[in-house]
Amino acid sequence: MAVLNRCGYHLDVVKWFSSAQRHSCQMNLAGYTCAIQAMQRLKDSAGALELLGKMRGDGIRADVVVYNIVLNACDKSGQWQTALQLMEDMKSEGIAPDVITYNTAISACGKGGQWKRALQLLDEGHAEGVAPDTIA
């Protein structure tokens, strides 16, 4: 699946993943990550969020990479509120946001016209020891 993703066959990744699930194949973190990344690259934030939910339902703990991929999908689709909720979910699950997390959430807030919230995230990142970079 990762090779298909890298080669741009994102829809094929989603189809393969769906087929594997229909045939009761157990998916692991890597499989879910590939499928979620394919959804993000297809600009399907709803699909990425749905897969994150299924992943949790299957008892697989998301990591910072998965959250950052879903955050990116939310950023690209203008869902700043969902991006902020995902950051809260991460923290409640004991997953520390990294520089990519903060950059993406700040971007989502900026695109959504939420400049005060974006500045709060910038301050929060500094307080957490994760200074957003020049991209933010």
Q: What is the mean pLDDT of the chain?
A: 89
Burial of 30 (0-12, 13-18, 19+ CB in 10 A): exposed
Residues 22/54, Cβ–Cβ less than 8 Å: no
Residues in the chain, how many?
A: 136
Query: Which residue is associated with the tokens 């990744």?
Result: 13
Query: Which residue is associated with the tokens 């971007």?
Result: 107
Q: pLDDT tens-digit profile of 28-51? A: 899 899 899 999 999 999 999 999
The whole-angstrom separation of Cα 58 and Cα 29 is 10
Burial of 98 (0-12, 13-18, 19+ CB in 10 A): middle
Coil, helix or strand at residue 28: coil
Q: pLDDT tens-digit profile of 80-93? A: 999 999 999 999 99
- Give the pLDDT band (50/70/90) at residue 134: low
Please check the confidence at residue 132 and state whether its pLDDT lies above 70: no
CA distances from 15 to 5, 22, 97 (A): 12, 11, 30
pTM summary value: 0.88
Runs of H (alpha helix) within 23-114: 29-41, 45-57, 64-76, 80-92, 99-111
